[in-house]
């Protein structure tokens, strides 16, 4: 296995291309692709050719990219402070000492950038979710207080009805006693 690795390192770019072409040649391919896989490869190739260069890419590194990958819609001149912006961006990604010299490094940098952007975007949603959870906790506390107040009001209503019934009964008993007293007083005044 180690000898295979060393022999691959010794290959020139042309030899590497020739060996790779054996994998997908039209007849007797080492690793033939299905029609669907081939369509996917062509779509990826077409998409990769139309990708624009990110504006955050340092200007010095533009010269290390091939002319085919430099089809960029950006034609504006670069402001003087761009280097500072780029330096801050690379510092934020902890890549201030790194240079992008290969496509692999570029894609690694781009993946880091996209991950950070996704984290920033999801942080907004997490903050909103946390705020909503806080509001929900406050609403739950208010609902608990309202339910406690309703229980107390229900108890007070029952007590009021009890007292009202007793007061009504006492009032009727008092009126009955008063009528009886008036009737006895009249009877005594007539009999005397």
The whole-number pLDDT of residue 56 equals: 62
Residues 6+ apart with CB under 8 A from 22: 29, 30
Domain range list for the chain: 2-100, 102-192
- What single DSSP character describes residue 67? G
Residue with tokens 């022999």: 7
The whole-number pLDDT of residue 72 equals: 47
- What single DSSP character describes residue 187? H
Task: List per-block mean pLDDT (blocks of 10 residues) for the chain, which spans 192 residues.
Answer: 47 64 68 76 74 60 47 49 72 71 81 82 86 94 95 95 95 94 89 76
The whole-number pLDDT of residue 17 equals: 64
Q: Provide the 10 A C-beta neighbour count for residue 89.
A: 19
Q: Provide the 10 A C-beta neighbour count for residue 90.
A: 20
The whole-number pLDDT of residue 62 equals: 47
Catalogue the long-range contacts made by 106-112 (C-beta closer than 8 Å, 24 or more residues apart). 106/57, 106/65, 110/54
> Considering only CA atoms, which of 171, 167, 172, 175 is closest in space to residue 183?
175
pTM of this prediction? 0.36
The whole-number pLDDT of residue 58 equals: 57
């Amino acid at each position: 296995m180690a000898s295979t690795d060393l022999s691959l390192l010794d290959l020139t770019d042309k030899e590497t291309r020739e060996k790779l072409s054996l994998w997908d040649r039209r007849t007797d391919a080492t690793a033939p692709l299905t029609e669907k896989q081939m369509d996917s490869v062509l779509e990826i190739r077409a998409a990769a050719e139309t990708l624009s260069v990110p504006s955050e890419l340092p200007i010095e590194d533009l010269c290390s990219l091939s002319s085919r990958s430099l089809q960029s819609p950006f034609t504006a001149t670069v402001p003087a402070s761009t280097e500072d912006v780029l330096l801050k961006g690379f510092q934020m990604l902890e890549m201030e000492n790194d240079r992008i010299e290969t496509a692999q490094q570029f894609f690694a940098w781009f993946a880091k950038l996209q991950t950070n952007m996704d984290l920033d975007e999801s942080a907004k949603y997490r903050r909103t979710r946390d705020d909503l959870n806080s509001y929900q906790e406050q609403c739950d506390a208010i609902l608990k207080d309202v339910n406690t107040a309703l229980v107390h009001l229900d108890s007070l209503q029952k007590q009021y009805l009890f007292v009202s019934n007793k007061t009504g009964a006492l009032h009727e008993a008092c009126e009955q006693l008063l009528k009886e007293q008036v009737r006895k007083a009249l009877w005594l005044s007539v009999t005397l």
